[in-house]
Amino acid sequence: MGLKNLKLKEEYRSDVDDIVAEFFFPCLSNCIEYDRCVNFLSVQSLATISMAFDNFNSGKAKLRMITGQRYKTEDLNIFTKLFSKKFTKSFDDKFIKNSKIQNLQNIVNNGQIELKIAIPRSERIADAFSERIGIFTDEEGEHVAFTGTSKESFSTQTRDFESVDVFTSWNDKTRVERKIKDFENLWQNKTKYVEVLDFMYAEKNNLLKYSSKWVTEI
């Protein structure tokens, strides 16, 4: 079943909808590519995406993610190991005892996940990168784009109060195409006021900000 077969709403809001169960997971399970801009990212949330993204198991799916430069220290340590060429087999058990995270590493090693960092490079940007867009693409070439939700938080117990606006390629082609272009410009580092860099380049050049206090857990 493709994205067009899903019964999607134009808006999901925390007071009336389960945004994860009703929107994110159905779209993840019916697409082969997910492009996402998000301000915060945790290892656990990325692992959850990979588990919900059923097509990852067939080797077809692709996830491209752009995040801000702020990470929790523990997440940054694991991301560095996940994306470093020095770690291409498996983690020592003392680092990861979670099968979800091990599955995530296998997917990263297979080249199905790419992570880039967006860093403000202008006086006009007061704080950090925090654009909130996402695009799902299925095998038929249909797209579902959305705006809203500040981080990938898939907890079933605690979540932010938020809303998500949804646009589809079969009902709102122009707006979807604009979101796709916006993401591609970011991905190719063609967007004014921000510089988009490969995660490992940013890490090796000390461009990431990290703390034990960033609120990035799901």
CATH of the domain at 103: 3.30.870.10
Main-chain dihedrals φ then ψ at residue 177, nearest 5 degrees: -60, -35
Does residue 186 fall inside a structural domain?
A: yes
Classify strands 163-168 and 143-148 as parallel, antiparallel or unpaired. Answer: antiparallel
In our burial notation (b when 16+ CB lie closer than 10 A, e otherwise), range 151-181 reads: bbbbeeeebeeeebebbbbeebeeebeebbe
Does residue 5 fall inside a structural domain?
A: no
Residue 15 in this model has a pLDDT that exceeds 80: yes
Per the prediction, the chain carries an average pLDDT of 84
Domain, as residue range, for 30:
10-211
Res. 213 pLDDT band, cuts 50 70 90:
low
Q: What average pLDDT does this structure show over 16-31?
A: 91
Does residue 176 fall inside a structural domain?
A: yes
Q: How does pLDDT run across 61-117, given as a tens digit for each residue?
A: 999 999 998 888 888 988 998 998 755 555 554 444 567 777 888 899 889 999 999
**Residue in this structure with the two tokens 């990852």, named with its chain if needed:** 56
Does residue 149 fall inside a structural domain?
A: yes
**Count of the separate structural domains present in the chain:** 1
Does residue 67 fall inside a structural domain?
A: yes
Does residue 2 fall inside a structural domain?
A: no
Positive/negative CA dihedral, 90, 92, 97, 101: negative
Reading the block at residue 63, the tokens are: 């996830």
Report pTM: 0.87
Does residue 217 fall inside a structural domain?
A: no
Does residue 134 fall inside a structural domain?
A: yes
How far apart are alpha carbons 117 and 128 in whole angstroms? 11
